[in-house]
Structure 1
Amino acid sequence: MSTVLPMPANEMERLKALSDLDIDYSSLNDNLKSLSKLAAKIAGTDISMVNLIDSLTQWTIANHGLDIDQMNREDSVCQYTIVEKEGFEVPDLLADERFKEKFYVTGYPKVRYYYGVPLRADNGIHLGALCVLDTQTRNLTPEKVEMLKIIADEIVNRLKALSVIDNLRSQISEVTENQRRVAHDIRGPLGGIIGLARIISEQGNENTMDEVLEFINLIQKSGYSILELADEILTVDKINLQKDNILGSDEFNQVALKEKLLKLYVPQAINKKVKFEVITNSNTQAIPFLKNKLLQIAGNLISNAIKFTPAGGHVTVNLGIDIEATGHILQIKVEDSGVGISPEKIALILKGEGETTNGTSGEQGFGFGLALVKHLVDNLKGTMQITSEPGKGTAFMISLPQAANKR
């Protein structure tokens, strides 16, 4: 008899709150590892982890005592913590029917004890959990539990602060770059105008009318060039920045996004024995585009594709950019050789609705991941298309317009 997995009553709102942070799950360890270590020291346990939980995956964004980056949500203990108000304890995992056969109990590191505290956002939504684990049973005092809750609150505060800092950094970077470009580009035309005016002044009555008109014509041209530079500043200098391959803190290009997706999702593919690759378009792969929600959008599609693709199959991500006069269109296509989706389910997904389904290896899913993707794509004024043939695979095509004033 299969275990019914826990599900927060506000799961869709929870996933939206997690996506609002727009977190890169692979970049937070340095900022949070000290808090994770402190939690272990307070609890007196061998291991502690800071976990965020999306629709299919538990992401370990900081840890102490156990080197792990991710696991299937259905295998985690923290999935039970996020449905609790205060905390969740398992005195002996080996004696608990829900966990006694999990790989971290039967194999390395042979965990026996677990205590988890929800990572609670301001609106009461649980983003994940701070947990402490040990290879022997423990008994945490109420004082230690309260201290773990304080650490969990600090973790959430730090996540929010990092999100704000990233946003401010991107704004400061853009302002600084614009200032540099203004100072450099306007100096030339202004110098020309000043020089021509000096010649007219120094020569005085010696200037013929034709010479004066020629000088005025040159001054007028320099003035127009300043106006043109002002327009360029408002729209950003695309050519120079592409040539220099400079990425702002709020930007990816196809190469950078490919690198990030491989780092995050190759472990899932290897675990499932599925071939996973990301392909870029060589003609447009250096063009920058906004990071905004891309890891959440692409990640949910990739995790879902891996889930529904049997061992020996493949999942391929194709990245590209359509260049248009009004702005670039980022294209993300995720294809798999999995079980496919029926027309009825495709219709539900495109309505932003989802339902529980099981993967090819029995993984449980809750249907919220694809609904979240639809929500995010709609908010970014993009489109999502789905083509599928039952038994042969599915392709998701995401098109996201990039603002015309982005380079």
Structure 2
Amino acid sequence: MQAPALPANESPRLQALRSLGLLDTQNEERFSRYVRLAKSLIDVPIATISLVDSNRQWFKGCEGLEMSETPRNISFCGHAILEQGVFYIPDAAADARFADNPLVTGAPHIRFYAGCPVYVPGNLAIGTLCVMDRRPRTLTPELLGRLRDLADCLQRELSLHVLLQDIQRLKSSPALTALAQHG
């Protein structure tokens, strides 16, 4: 098994991830919607929005798995955040990087994986939108492109989340309050 490498921008990436305030939070319909769409689009039993933290990947949205996180060192998504387009593994059991991975050899028995890195402003990949199956799968370039399109929509959702956080911070800024009082 090959553990994923760390991105060159790991420190600012983790800072951006944590500043989102999404880790270890309740399910939200706005994220669950993307998981359902990805699952349906690719016709797979498993889809997640995975946030890749320092030692784990945590699922902000998940369908088809009975777990809420896995260790980062065995995660497929840890590899996917290093890519630009779609990280695609048609058969994990036939891929030397994953053949002896506990997620392949044991539950949930992942054989197919396709994951798109999801970025926040600053070009920081904080996680993925991914789909998985318990059997090998081959996807057409068109389907891979549609998955990337859906991940781009999720990225816009996260960018909007960051923008709304910035607006809230500005609204509660003492300098802005003082300016409004004297303006």
TM-score bin, normalised by smaller chain: 0.7 to 0.9
2:37 alignment partner, SS class: helix
Q: Is the CA contact (8 Å cut-off) linking 2:50 and 2:58 kept in structure 1?
A: yes
Q: Given that residues 3 and 73 in structure 2 are in contact (C-alpha distance below 8 angstroms), is that contact kept between their aligned partners in structure 1?
A: no
Rate the CA distance shift 1:134–1:33 in 2: closer, same or farther, 3 A. same
Measure the CA separation in 1 of the matches of 2:130 and 2:158. 17
Query: Where does 1:101-140 land on structure 2 (aligned, <5 Å)?
Result: 101-140=100-139
Q: Distance in 2 between matches of 1:36 and 1:137?
A: 20
**1:129 aligned counterpart, secondary structure:** strand
% same residue: 31
Q: Which residue of 2 aligns with 1:12?
A: 11
TM-score by length of 1: 0.39
Q: Which letter maps to 2:108?
A: P
Query: In structure 1, how many angstroms separate the alpha carbons of the residues matched to 2:92 and 2:2?
Result: 15
Contact 2:23 2:51 in 1 (8 A): no
Following superposition, which runs of at least 4 residues in structure 1 exceed 4 angstroms of deviation?
Answer: 163-172
CA distance in 2, matches of 1:5, 1:157: 26
Counterpart-to-counterpart distance in 1, 2:3 and 2:113 = 20
8 Å CA contact 2:120–2:158 kept in 1: the answer is no
Deviation digits for residues 153-176 of structure 1 (CA, Å, limit 9, x no counterpart): 22222223335546767998x9xx
1 or 2, which has the higher helix percentage? Answer: 1
The letter for the 1-side match of 2:126 is L
Question: In structure 1, what is the Cα distance between the partners aligned to 2:165 and 2:17?
Answer: 16
**Residue aligning to 2:146:** 147
Within-5 A mapping of 1:46-195: 46-165=45-164
- For residues 61 and 151 of structure 1, do their structure 2 counterparts lie closer, same or farther at Cα, with a shift above 3 Å needed? same
Q: Which has the higher contact order (CA 8 A, sep 6+)?
A: 2
TM-score (norm 2): 0.81
Do 2:74 and 2:103's aligned partners in 1 also have CA atoms closer than 8 Å? Answer: no
One-letter identity of the residue aligned with 1:32: F
Rg larger in 1 or in 2? 1
Deviates most, 154-163 or 80-89 = 154-163
Measured on the aligned residues, the alpha-carbon RMSD in Å equals 2.4
Contact 1:87–1:117 under 8 Å retained in 2: yes
C-alpha separation in 2, matches of 1:168 and 1:11: 26
1:71 and 1:39 map into 2 onto residues whose CA distance is: 20
Offset, 1:126: 0.9
Aligned residues: 172
**What do the CA deviations read for 1:262-321 (whole angstroms, capped 9, x no partner)?**
xxxxxxxxxxxxxxxxxxxxxxxxxxxxxxxxxxxxxxxxxxxxxxxxxxxxxxxxxxxx
Shift of 1:112: 0.7
Distance 1:70 1:38 in 2: 21
For the structure 1 residues 170 and 11, does the alpha-carbon distance in structure 2 shift closer, same or farther, using more than 3 Å as the test?
closer
One-letter identity of the residue aligned with 2:11: M
1:44 and 2:43 correspond: yes
Q: How does 1:183-332 map to 2 (within 5 A)?
A: none
Residue by residue, what CA displacement relative to the aligned partner does 1:215-252 show, whole Å, maximum 9, x if unpaired?
A: xxxxxxxxxxxxxxxxxxxxxxxxxxxxxxxxxxxxxx
Q: Determine if contact 1:23/1:163 at 8 Å carries over to the other structure.
A: no
Ranges in structure 2 where 5+ consecutive residues have no aligned partner = 173-183
Mark the CA change 1:72 to 1:49 in structure 2 (over 3 Å): closer, same or farther.
Answer: same
C-alpha spacing 1:108/1:24, structure 2 compared with 1 (3 Å): closer
How far off is 1:25 after superposition?
3.1
User: Is residue 111–residue 133 contact of structure 2 (8 Å, CA) maintained in 1?
Assistant: yes
Are the counterparts in 2 of residues 22 and 163 from structure 1 also a CA contact under 8 Å?
no
Q: State the one-letter code of the partner of 2:143.
A: K
Q: Which amino acid aligns with 1:44?
A: D
1:343-354 counterparts in 2 under 5 A? none
**DSSP 3-state at the match of 2:30:** helix
Change (3 A) 1:169 1:133: same
